[in-house]
Amino acid sequence: MRQKEDTWFEDAVQVGDEVYILRWMRKKGYTGYYTYRVKMDNGQTLSMDICKYLPENYETSKIAIWSVILSVSTKRKRGYEFLKQTGKNGLTSLLIAKEILKYHIREIIGRDKYYDHVIAVQWDDRARMRAYERGLRDLGFAIIEKASFGKMNYGKFLVKRIVKQC
């Protein structure tokens, strides 16, 4: 029997004294595409998509690259909008996003013993870059000036590398 819709799962993330319901799914038909959603107290929804890419030389390099997309919106259909500030509770949003990343590293990436993993975070502007860098530094993220994944070359990224445990 074929699954017609994506299946959502529920868990919880804690930020300070607050516990937030984390809804997540692995997109049907994709290997390594996860969507996480948290409804915040102010009525807005934080959405984080984490997508896995395997570079052309992944057979020899054994590296999986995870791209992170974060958005906060009031209307579900809007989602991410480049250079548009839609969030009204910035610090709480960042703390929840950090907990979601920790959850993804522990529950999804932690189970894969075949690849080394690189998590790459980008931003829209310098203010977000500084906020993300400060917020993720204690998880082992660092800025790299030029990222190159296979034949694709990019600018700055905030990156964490997770080496497989054999």
- pLDDT at position 154 is 62
pLDDT at 23 over 50: yes
- End-to-end Cα, the chain, rounded Å: 36
In a domain, 4, yes or no: no
In a domain, 132, yes or no: yes
User: What percent of the chain is predicted at pLDDT more than 90?
Assistant: 22
| Mean pLDDT, residues 85-113 taken together | 84
Q: By C-alpha distance, which of 121, 120, 150 is closest to 59?
A: 150
Q: Can you give the CATH number for the domain in which 69 is found?
A: 3.40.630
- pLDDT at position 56 is 75
- pLDDT at position 100 is 94
In a domain, 28, yes or no: yes
Q: By C-alpha distance, which of 83, 80, 77, 78 is closest to 69?
A: 80
**Over the stretch 115-134, which tens digit does the pLDDT of each residue have?**
889 898 888 788 888 888 99
Beta bridge partners of 144: 157
Which residue range is the domain that position 131 belongs to? 9-162
What domain count does the chain have? Answer: 1
- pLDDT at position 91 is 84
In a domain, 2, yes or no: no
86 confidence band (pLDDT: 50, 70, 90): low
In a domain, 109, yes or no: yes
